[in-house]
Structure 1
Amino acid sequence: MRWHKRLLAAGAVAALTLTATACGGGKIRGGADGSEGSTQPGTSQNAQNPSSAADATFVYVPNLDVVTDWDPASSYSNEILAMQNIYESLTRYNPQTKQAEPRLATSWTSSDDGKKWTFTLRQGATFHTGKPVDAAAAKAAIERTMKMGAGAAYIWDAVKKIEAKDSSTLKFTLKYPTALDLVASAGYASYVYDTTAAGSGDLKTWFGEGHDAGSGPYTIDTWEKGKETELTLKAFDDYWGGWDGPRYKKIAYRVTPELTTAWQLLRGGEVTFVARLNPQLFAEAGGTPTVQAAQTPSFQNLLTLFNTHSGPLKDVRLRQALQKAIDYDGVVAVLKGAGAPAAGLVPEGLLGHNAGQTPRQDLAGAEALLKEAGYGPGGKKLELTLTYAQGDSDQEVLVTLLSSTLDKLNVKLSAKPLQWTTQWDQAKAKDPAKRQDILVMYWWPDYADAFSWFVNIFRSEDPISFNLSYLRDDAIDKRINELPQLTATDRDAAEKAYAELQNKIINERAAVAVPYVMNYQRAFAKSVQGYVDNPAYPNVVFVHDLKPGA
Structure 2
Amino acid sequence: MEKLFKKLRFSRLTAMGKTNFAISTAAVALIVVLVVAAIVGVILLTRTPSISSSTSSQTGTSVISSVRRSYTLVVIRNAPTNDMDPRETSSIDIVQNVYQTLTYIAPNGTVEPLLATNWSYNPNKTIWTFTLRQGVTFHDGTPFNSTAVVDSIDNIVQFGEGDAPDVWSGLVSVSAQGPYTVVIKWAYPANVAFIVGSAYAAFIFSPNVWKVAHVAPGNNTGLHQWFSQFHDDGTGPYEILSNQSSVQTGVTLVAYPKYWGGWKSDQFKKVIVKFVSNTATAVDLLTSGQVNQTGLNGQFQYVPQLLSAGDQVVPAKSFAAIWILFNTKHPLLNQSAVRRALLAAINYQQVLSQAYYGYGSLFSGGINPGKPFYSNETPSYPPTGNITLAKQILKSIGITGGLNVTWTLTYSLGSPFLGTAAQVLATDWAPLGVKLNIQGLPFNQLAKKAGYYNATTGQVFSPGPLSYAYSSQAQDILLLNWVGAINDPYLVINELFAIQPAPYQNDILFNWAYWTNQTFTQLLQKAHIDEALNPQLAQQEYNTLNLMLYQAAPGWPLFAEETVYAFGPHVGGFVSNPYYGFSYPFWYQMYYKG
TM-score (norm 1): 0.88
1:157 to 149, 169, 184: 169
Is the 2:371–2:487 contact (alpha carbons within 8 Å) kept by the matching residues of 1? yes
Is the 2:35–2:74 contact (alpha carbons within 8 Å) kept by the matching residues of 1? no
Q: Which amino acid aligns with 2:419?
A: E
d(CA) in 1 for partners of 2:139, 2:284: 36
2:144 to 133, 144, 147: 133
Would you say 1:372 and 2:411 are equivalent positions?
no
What is aligned with 2:130? 119
What is aligned with 1:22? none
What is aligned with 2:557? 514
Would you say 1:279 and 2:293 are equivalent positions?
no
1:402 to 425, 437, 446: 425
1:49 to 36, 44, 54: 44
d(CA) in 2 for partners of 1:183, 1:121: 16
Is the 1:210–1:223 contact (alpha carbons within 8 Å) kept by the matching residues of 2? no
What is aligned with 2:21? 16
Q: Which amino acid aligns with 1:425?
A: K
When residues 422 and 10 of structure 1 are mapped into structure 2, their CA distance, relative to the original with a 3 A threshold, is farther
SS at match of 1:471: coil
Structure 1 window deviating more from structure 2 (140-149 vs 462-471): it is 462-471
What is aligned with 1:438? 477
Q: CA deviation at 1:198?
A: 4.0
SS at match of 1:117: strand
d(CA) in 2 for partners of 1:205, 1:436: 37
SS at match of 1:421: helix
Moved over 6 A (4+): 10-14, 26-30, 40-48
When residues 419 and 128 of structure 1 are mapped into structure 2, their CA distance, relative to the original with a 3 A threshold, is closer
Work out the number of aligned pairs and report it: 525
Give the share of equivalent positions with the same residue, in percent.
Answer: 24
Is the 2:523–2:541 contact (alpha carbons within 8 Å) kept by the matching residues of 1? yes
**Per-residue Cα deviation, 1:134-188 (whole angstroms, up to 9, x for no partner):** 1111111111111111222212131111111112211011223332222211222
For 1:206-225, what aligned pairs fall within 5 Å after superposition?
A: 206-221=226-241, 222-225=243-246
Would you say 1:547 and 2:570 are equivalent positions?
no
SS at match of 1:481: helix
What is aligned with 1:59? 74
Would you say 1:389 and 2:411 are equivalent positions?
yes
d(CA) in 2 for partners of 1:44, 1:296: 31
Q: CA deviation at 1:191?
A: 0.6
Is the 1:223–1:231 contact (alpha carbons within 8 Å) kept by the matching residues of 2? yes
Is the 2:328–2:554 contact (alpha carbons within 8 Å) kept by the matching residues of 1? yes
Is the 2:27–2:295 contact (alpha carbons within 8 Å) kept by the matching residues of 1? no
d(CA) in 2 for partners of 1:520, 1:471: 30
Q: Which amino acid aligns with 2:178?
A: D
Is the 1:388–1:417 contact (alpha carbons within 8 Å) kept by the matching residues of 2? yes
| Structure 2: stretches of 5+ with no match in the other structure | 1-6, 54-68, 216-222, 452-465, 500-504
When residues 207 and 11 of structure 1 are mapped into structure 2, their CA distance, relative to the original with a 3 A threshold, is closer
When residues 262 and 163 of structure 1 are mapped into structure 2, their CA distance, relative to the original with a 3 A threshold, is same
Q: Which amino acid aligns with 1:64?
A: A
Q: CA deviation at 1:120?
A: 1.2
SS at match of 2:328: coil
What is aligned with 1:534? 577
Q: Which amino acid aligns with 2:13?
A: A
SS at match of 1:16: coil
d(CA) in 2 for partners of 1:481, 1:407: 39
Q: CA deviation at 1:452?
A: 1.6
d(CA) in 1 for partners of 2:412, 2:434: 23
Is the 1:299–1:347 contact (alpha carbons within 8 Å) kept by the matching residues of 2? yes
For 1:192-231, what aligned pairs fall within 5 Å after superposition?
A: 192-199=204-211, 201-202=214-215, 203-221=223-241, 222-228=243-249, 230-231=250-251
What is aligned with 2:386? 362
What is aligned with 2:252? 232
When residues 191 and 372 of structure 1 are mapped into structure 2, their CA distance, relative to the original with a 3 A threshold, is same
Is the 1:219–1:233 contact (alpha carbons within 8 Å) kept by the matching residues of 2? yes
What is aligned with 2:198? 186
| Structure 1: stretches of 5+ with no match in the other structure | 20-25, 35-39
Q: CA deviation at 1:111?
A: 2.0
When residues 546 and 340 of structure 1 are mapped into structure 2, their CA distance, relative to the original with a 3 A threshold, is same
Q: CA deviation at 1:494?
A: 2.7
Structure 1 window deviating more from structure 2 (50-59 vs 465-474): it is 50-59
Q: CA deviation at 1:194?
A: 0.4
Structure 1 window deviating more from structure 2 (237-246 vs 417-426): it is 417-426
Is the 1:302–1:441 contact (alpha carbons within 8 Å) kept by the matching residues of 2? yes
Q: CA deviation at 1:382?
A: 3.3
Is the 2:322–2:561 contact (alpha carbons within 8 Å) kept by the matching residues of 1? yes
Is the 2:245–2:252 contact (alpha carbons within 8 Å) kept by the matching residues of 1? no
Is the 1:48–1:59 contact (alpha carbons within 8 Å) kept by the matching residues of 2? no
Q: Which amino acid aligns with 2:302?
A: L
Q: Which amino acid aligns with 1:273?
A: Q
**Per-residue Cα deviation, 1:445-489 (whole angstroms, up to 9, x for no partner):** 011222122221111231222222222222211111123322233
SS at match of 2:282: helix
When residues 27 and 412 of structure 1 are mapped into structure 2, their CA distance, relative to the original with a 3 A threshold, is same
d(CA) in 1 for partners of 2:203, 2:416: 35
1:466 to 510, 514, 517: 510
d(CA) in 2 for partners of 1:150, 1:292: 38
Q: Which amino acid aligns with 2:576?
A: D
For 1:62-81, what aligned pairs fall within 5 Å after superposition?
A: 62-65=77-80, 67-74=81-88, 76-78=89-91, 80-81=92-93
Q: CA deviation at 1:419?
A: 3.5
TM-score (norm 2): 0.81
User: What is the Cα-based RMSD across aligned positions, in Å?
Assistant: 2.8
